Amino acid sequence: MIMRIMHKMAEDRYGASLAEAAQFFRKIALEIDQNPNDIIRYYSKLPINYLNDLCQQSCEKRVKLYEALSYGDAGVLLACPGPSLAGMMINELADSFQRDLFHKSVALYQARTFLAVTEPNCGSNINLLSTQLVKQESALGHYVLSGEKKLVGHAATGALGVVLVRTAKGPLGISAVLLMPETVNSPFVERQVLPMFGLRGAQIGRLIFKNVGLDQALILGHHRSTIERGMAALIKTFNRMRPCVGAMALGVAQAILDYIYDNKIQFSLDEARYYEKLNAKVEAVRFLLYEAALYIDQNPYDSALPSLVKTKATAVVEEISQAAFSFFGSSSMIEHPWLTKWYCDAWGFEYMEGTSHIHKKNIFYGYGKKSTYFVPSKISTP
Ligand SMILES: Cc1cc2nc3c(=O)[nH]c(=O)nc-3n(C[C@H](O)[C@H](O)[C@H](O)COP(=O)(O)OP(=O)(O)OC[C@H]3O[C@@H](n4cnc5c(N)ncnc54)[C@H](O)[C@@H]3O)c2cc1C
């Protein structure tokens, strides 16, 4: 079943060109949900310029792109080839050789990419990462990579990507390495797609590194000091990514609201009030999202506001994806398969880029002492 998008509403909100890209995402959404690898068949029709822009732009522009494309379909967006989150890490840390190598390879292989952070034993807690990069001679270079990553988008379907590794004890001992296709496809790397019931385009999976030889040239930011390329650079990158996950959640929430408006024949007074309340929540999150994006472009080390907006956007999409059923009665799960799909997708955002209880810790610290957003007196005056 192909669902029409309310052209006018999408165009007013996102502009004609993005609304058209969203329309295409919506058209192929159910097919990609069933078989995410079908995305390759549509390569020539995908909005490659927007997919490349996702990692190149300011956070302000990026959240608008993420919201609009996720309004089309977040699963399709996650299935797409392109630099994606790995590209953001490359932008932050890579030298010009690495940058060139990465972007040329993404274009050449029409590649899907991965950014591997999460591990089976410590989740996404970077402080406890145990995937190791040690200095040791091998046939392929002066370093050897070993360890395991899990729940990583395109771990098994990406042609290349970036992996977070530990090079020494402590917060300065964290680095990121670029894995090129010849390494990813070598017998020293084991890969597996894991089953999913929502956001299936992400194709999360497992990567096992069995003493993989690597050249120093693939360590991102090897030309920089350990402080510049360690935890600080990663925090900056994560702060810039989190509003994007919030934007994806918001795009889905908006899609559900528009679907209700488009498909509900008549609203009772109570239903109209409830709908307006949900709409107001989406507007409030969008306002906060734009604030956070602008703020993080200026204050990339301050984690509180990105954490707040990611937590809020996640909560709103979860609420709306459940509330949607109440507008269509008891058989709505059968009669409105889109609502069921969005309901499954909505719960994935909580687990992308850290869960809410970890973000609430960042928000607490922001109120307590660090964030100039929450504590304006901290803003330095000239
Ligand atoms: C659709 C989807 C796509 C995903 N894509 C990717 C991807 O591309 N790459 C990737 O690496 N992962 C990816 N993930 C995995 C995701 O990032 C993690 O599962 C998520 O961040 C939750 O982390 P967690 O498992 O540590 O759970 P949490 O509930 O966040 O943490 C579990 C425990 O770990 C500890 N902990 C975690 N973080 C911290 C912290 N910052 N400080 C202190 N303690 C902490 C705490 O003890 C906590 O109780 C994806 C997940 C989904 C659903």
Q: Which amino acid is at 372?
A: T
116 close to ligand 1 (CB < 6 Angstrom): yes
For 160-186, how does the pLDDT look when each residue is reduced to its tens digit (9 = 90+)? 999 999 999 888 899 999 999 999 999
224 — pLDDT class (breaks 50, 70, 90): confident
Average pLDDT (10-36) is: 94
User: Contact at 8 Å (CB) between 256 and 7?
Assistant: no
Q: What is the CA radius of gyration of the chain?
A: 21
State the distance from the centre of ligand 1 to the C-alpha of 350, rounded, in angstroms.
9
Taking only the tens place, the pLDDT of each residue in 256-290 is 999 999 999 899 999 999 999 999 999 999 999 99
Quote the CA–CA distance of 40 and 30 in Å, as a whole number. Answer: 15
Pair of tokens at residue 294: 């602008």
Least confident of 48-57, 78-87, 294-303: 48-57
Atom number of ligand 1 nearest to Cα 122? 34
Q: For residue 122, what are its two tokens?
A: 């410590």
Coil, strand or helix: which one is 143?
strand
Q: Which is more confident, 302 or 246?
A: 246
If you measure from the C-alpha of residue 289 to the centroid of ligand 1, how many angstroms do you get, rounded to a whole number? 21
Dist. CA 262 → ligand 1 center (Å): 36
Query: Does 379 have pLDDT greater than 70?
Result: no
In this structure, which residue's CA is closest to atom 10 in ligand 1? Answer: 152
**Secondary structure element (H or E) that encloses residue 184, with its range:** helix 181-184
**Is residue 99 within 8 Å of 127, Cβ to Cβ?**
no
Q: What residue's CA is closest to ligand 1, atom 36? A: 125
* Best residue among 80, 350, 352 to mutate for probing ligand 1, ranked by most atoms within 8 Å of CB: 352
Q: Does ligand 1 come within 6 angstroms of the Cβ of 156? A: no
**Ligand 1 near 123 CB (within 6 A):** yes
Lowest mean pLDDT across 38-52, 143-157, 362-376 = 362-376
Per-residue pLDDT reduced to its tens digit, 90-129: 998 899 999 999 999 999 999 999 999 999 999 999 889 9
Q: Is the CB of 204 under 6 A from ligand 1?
A: yes
199 lines ligand 1 (CB under 6 A): yes
Nearest in space to 39 (alpha carbons), one of 2, 78, 4, 84: 78
Q: What is the pLDDT of residue 376?
A: 60
**Amino acid found at 102:** F
> What is the value of pTM for the model shown?
0.93
Q: What is the tally of helices (H) and strands (E) in the chain?
A: 14, 7
In the reported structure, the alpha carbon of residue 126 is separated from the centroid of ligand 1 by a whole-number distance in angstroms of 9
Q: With 80 as the cut, is the pLDDT of residue 138 above it? A: no
Residue in 54, 84, 117, 125 to alter for ligand 1 test, most ligand atoms within 8 A of Cβ: 125
Shortest-distance atom of ligand 1 to CA 153: 8
| pLDDT score of 382 more than 50 | no
Could you tell me the two tokens for 86?
């790995």
